[in-house]
Amino acid sequence: MIDLNTAAEQIWLETQADCPNISIEVLPETDSTNTQLLARGRAGDTAPMLLAAHRQTAGRGRHGRHWVAQAGDSLTFSLGLALDLDLVPGGGSALSLAVGLAIAEALDDGLAGLQGPTPAPTITLKWPNDLWWQQRKLGGILIEATPAPGVLPGQRWVVIGVGINLRPQGDQATGLAHACLQDLSATPLTAGQVWAWTAPKLLRAVHRFALAGFAPLQAAYARRDALAGQDVALWQGAGGQGNALLRGAPTDTGRADGVDQQGALLVHTGTGLQRWTTGDVSVRLAASSAPSPTLPPA
């Protein structure tokens, strides 16, 4: 708790110029930081806020997955603010890519600062909402939106949840310290440290995205795109059925060809170039048939 509270003070000082009315809170334990902020927005508490939890007991991810975030094993936090995503090309689908890019850049910058002249290994992005290192899951993003009293016409209360492994989680997921730091004994990595790296950059990135959309970020995303040029399997309509559908045969297969200016995934299939948005499909590398370990963010 001391670690996260210290980080909260640092984040507050760094974000005042961009968002002077932001509130920052740390909870010793909660079910889900996303759930907490969604409830606050529905109750009319819609000033921008950051919420982190020392321990999270019912984190949520895509397809209704759940997990427990043990203290010290991961960083879990959420950002809530009012946005009019209908005015932004790509809307919420593209926002998840912009968030992933901001978090990846912040982590690389933070790790490079710890490692001195040796650059940190580049963290990649698996469309639409996973952070990867060497094709292993490092973190995840969950974006949810709800109507809320007190927001401007057209706006919704948007909650952006982020989960980052500090230690490995299962056979196919990695941890930030173990994967990316060369000398763990010399540089212990804490949740507060990583929160201080990522939260200010995330807030600035969301504000820029609301003004300019995803198009200015397309080239930077392409440099971290873990799927581009890879053979992939696609499951259409997986949202409500979760892993039950993903254990079956894929709806389609093809070769990923990056993302467009609205953040949609482009895949060359047997029937031509297909365009997918986050609500339409789940995607995996074709060589990996087993469900990936879950790291719901919030």
- pLDDT top residue among 101 and 122: 101
What number is the average pLDDT over the span 89-104? 94
Q: For position 171, what pLDDT does the model report?
A: 60
How many C-beta atoms surround the C-beta of residue 142 within 10 A? 25
pLDDT tens figures, 68-81: 556 568 899 999 99
The span from the CA of 66 to the CA of 146, in Å, is 20
Helix (H) or strand (E) holding 268: strand 265-269
- pLDDT top residue among 227 and 297: 227
227-285 CATH fold? SH3 type barrels. (2.30.30)
What number is the average pLDDT over the span 141-147? 95
Q: For position 159, what pLDDT does the model report?
A: 97
The region of weakest confidence among 104-118, 251-265, 282-296 is: 282-296
Which ranges of the chain would DSSP assign to H, the alpha helix? Answer: 2-15, 33-42, 91-115, 176-180, 191-212, 218-224, 243-246
> 70's torsion region: left (phi>0), alpha (psi -120 to 50) or beta?
beta
Burial class (CB in 10 A: 0-12, 13-18, 19+), 235: buried
Q: For position 112, what pLDDT does the model report?
A: 82
Helix axes 191-212, 2-15, angle to 10 degrees: 30
The region of weakest confidence among 40-54, 59-73, 268-282 is: 59-73
Asked if the model's pLDDT at residue 204 lies above 50, the reply is yes
Q: What is the mean pLDDT of the chain?
A: 85
Q: 129-140 burial, b if ≥16 CB within 10 A, otherwise e?
A: bbbbbeebbbbb
Report CA-CA distances (Å) from 58 to 29, 136, 199.
10, 23, 22
Question: Where, residue-wise, is CATH 3.30.930.10 in the chain?
Answer: 2-223
The span from the CA of 259 to the CA of 127, in Å, is 9
pLDDT tens figures, 153-182: 999 999 999 999 988 766 656 778 666 665
Helix (H, G, I), strand (E, B) or coil at 273: strand
**Under a CB-based contact definition with an 8 Å cutoff, are residues 7 and 193 in contact?**
yes
Asked if the model's pLDDT at residue 287 lies above 60, the reply is yes
Question: Where, residue-wise, is CATH 2.30.30.100 in the chain?
Answer: 227-285
Of 116, 115, 121, 118, residue with least CA distance to 138: 121
* Amino acid identity for residue 272 in this structure: G
Q: For position 73, what pLDDT does the model report?
A: 80
pTM of the model: 0.89
Of 90, 88, 53, residue with least CA distance to 73: 53
Q: How confident is the model at residue 249 (pLDDT cuts 50, 70, 90)?
A: confident
Q: How confident is the model at residue 241 (pLDDT cuts 50, 70, 90)?
A: very low
2-223 CATH fold? BirA Bifunctional Protein; domain 2 (3.30.930)
The span from the CA of 134 to the CA of 122, in Å, is 9
Q: How confident is the model at residue 289 (pLDDT cuts 50, 70, 90)?
A: very low
Encoding tokens for residue 199? 């939260």
